């Protein structure tokens, strides 16, 4: 019988409900300020820290992969230029010296100067297309 009276009084007195809600909010605020919820806050902070550190590791790995790819492309370009240097020199020397293009050494050097950069470009484009999602 006592429970029924309490329910009827609570429904009849909204001011008492508001005061009880304010006291509950004050109690929660005081508990938070006093540090009584520190364990929960610490758990949330640790979870957040783990997530941030994990995503930072992923970002650093992606940066390292991009740097490595750039370095390999640059190294390949330098090696191709070093390998093609003598052929370019020979073709230039033959053409300036009045040699014919029908000469086998000149034609071979010219084809090497044309095909090697084309193959390198095809490899770079294929690698770029493969890495794109």
* Local confidence pLDDT in tens for the 133 residues of the chain: 444 454 455 555 555 555 566 677 777 777 767 666 667 777 888 888 899 989 998 999 999 988 988 888 888 888 888 888 888 888 888 878 877 777 888 888 888 888 888 888 888 888 878 877 6
Q: What is the total count of domains within the chain?
A: 1
Q: Kindly state the DSSP code that residue 103 receives in the 8-state scheme.
A: S
Residue 118 placed within a domain: yes
The answer to whether position 1 is within a domain reads no
Q: Is residue 25 part of a domain?
A: no
Residue range(s) defining the domain that contains residue 125: 66-131
Q: Nearest to residue 84, comparing CAs of 31, 130, 41, 120?
A: 120
Beta-carbon contacts of residue 110 (< 8 Å; ≥ 6 apart): 91, 101
In a domain, 99, yes or no: yes
Please indicate, yes or no, if residue 36 is contained in any of the structural domains: no
| Cα 65 off chain centre by | 10
Tokens standing for residue 96: 């300036």
Look at residue 23 and tell me if it is in a domain. Answer: no
pTM over 0.85: no
């Amino acid at each position: 019988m006592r429970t029924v009276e309490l329910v009827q009084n609570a429904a009849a007195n909204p001011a008492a409900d508001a005061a009880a809600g304010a006291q509950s909010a004050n109690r929660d605020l005081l508990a938070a300020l006093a540090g009584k919820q520190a364990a929960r806050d610490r758990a949330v902070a640790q979870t957040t820290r783990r997530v941030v550190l994990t995503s930072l590791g992923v970002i650093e790995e992606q940066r390292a992969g991009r740097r490595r790819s750039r370095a390999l492309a640059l190294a390949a370009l330098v090696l191709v230029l070093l390998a093609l240097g003598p052929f370019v020199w020979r073709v230039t020397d033959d053409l300036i010296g009045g040699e014919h293009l029908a000469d086998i050494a000149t034609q071979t050097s010219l084809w090497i100067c044309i095909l090697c950069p084309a193959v390198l470009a095809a490899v770079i484009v294929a690698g770029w297309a493969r890495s794109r999602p």
